[in-house]
């Protein structure tokens, strides 16, 4: 029995560009609150339409990036490994996320002091392996610690383009042996690791990566992503996936898109541990 996808989102009531902590943010380029709300709602409704159960986190004034729930932490079975944000502007989100996860039955743990870790933004399972981005937000040594804590193989990948500051902006597992990625976001070693370890690796062009097409949400065989990636959509459909394009331009102003706006509470579809857990309970 396949479990119902379980996703955490946060309405964009207090979302806005209030500071600059990545190259996409510019306080002079304001977000449109009404448009952002419509775009967020369209993503929410599309997920519901695909059969997902969506939990809502209460927005908090003064935490504009709380809407990007993907950065809350990392879930592995019933463990929630909470993020330790690099920038002070986002550190106030941690107690909000910790409280929610504790209230919903997760064991909440943190990385050691000084070890920056930005959750599912930089840590993504593809099969049994945890692919881990580092440099701009998370630390390489932290990712090794995460692997030891979870008892899983971790492959650290250095990010080299500050526009793709989180792994989920340039890499998206779509099945336990398949992923999409933008090669220009990685160094030569990182590209070789991805090419060696993932059977089906779909290369995204620089133009389509710039539209945040890699920052996608996968629900079964459906891939929800920002509009502006027709080549990727065709390739996904050739492989038997359904591309679901959405307008998420208001969130790209802050450096996020569909994946950033969601957190899979039950584990990503591409994670083998989730599939095994589902089979065991079925």
Q: Among all residues, which ones are annotated catalytic?
A: 166, 260
Decide: helix, strand or coil at residue 281: helix
Task: Tell me which residue has tokens 């909440």.
Answer: 108
Give the DSSP letter of residue 14.
T
What are 256's two structure tokens?
């996020």
> CA-CA-CA-CA torsion for 24, 25, 30, 31, nearest 10 degrees?
60
CB 273 within 8 A of CB 173: no
Q: Where are the alpha helices (DSSP H) in the chain?
A: 33-49, 88-91, 93-103, 140-150, 188-197, 206-210, 230-238, 249-252, 272-281
CB 211 within 8 A of CB 253: no
- Burial class (CB within 10 angstroms; exposed 0-12, middle 13-18, buried 19+) of 196: exposed
**Nearest partner of 82 among 73, 90, 91, judged by Cα:** 73
Q: Are strands 242-246 and 263-264 parallel, antiparallel or unpaired?
A: unpaired
**Nearest partner of 87 among 57, 58, 121, judged by Cα:** 121
81 phi and psi, to 5 degrees? -95, 105
**Nearest partner of 72 among 7, 17, 15, 155, judged by Cα:** 7
């Amino acid at each position: 029995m396949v479990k119902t996808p379980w996703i955490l989102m946060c309405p964009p009531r207090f979302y806005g560009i209030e500071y600059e902590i990545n190259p996409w943010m510019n306080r002079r380029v304001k977000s449109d609150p009404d448009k952002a709300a419509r775009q967020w709602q369209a993503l929410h409704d599309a997920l519901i339409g695909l059969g997902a159960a969506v939990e809502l986190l209460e927005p908090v004034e003064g935490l504009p990036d709380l809407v990007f729930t993907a950065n809350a932490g990392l879930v592995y079975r019933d463990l929630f490994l909470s993020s330790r944000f690099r920038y002070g502007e986002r550190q106030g989100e941690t107690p909000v996320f910790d409280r929610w996860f504790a209230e919903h039955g997760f064991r909440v743990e943190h990385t050691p002091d000084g070890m920056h870790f930005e959750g599912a933004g930089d840590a993504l399972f593809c099969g049994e392996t945890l692919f881990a981005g580092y440099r701009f937000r998370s630390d390489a040594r932290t990712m090794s610690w995460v692997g030891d804590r979870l008892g899983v193989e971790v492959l650290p990948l250095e990010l080299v383009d500050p526009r793709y500051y989180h792994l989920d902006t340039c890499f998206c597992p779509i099945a336990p042996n398949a992923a999409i990625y933008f090669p220009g976001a990685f160094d030569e070693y990182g590209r070789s690791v991805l090419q060696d370890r993932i059977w089906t690796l779909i290369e995204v062009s620089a133009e389509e990566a710039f539209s945040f097409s890699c920052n996608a949400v996968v629900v079964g065989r459906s891939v929800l992503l920002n509009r502006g990636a027709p080549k990727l959509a065709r390739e996904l459909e050739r492989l038997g996936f359904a591309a679901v394009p959405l307008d998420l331009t208001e969130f790209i102003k802050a450096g996020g898109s569909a994946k950033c706006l969601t957190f899979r509470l039950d584990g990503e579809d591409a994670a083998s541990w989730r599939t095994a857990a589902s089979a065991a309970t079925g």
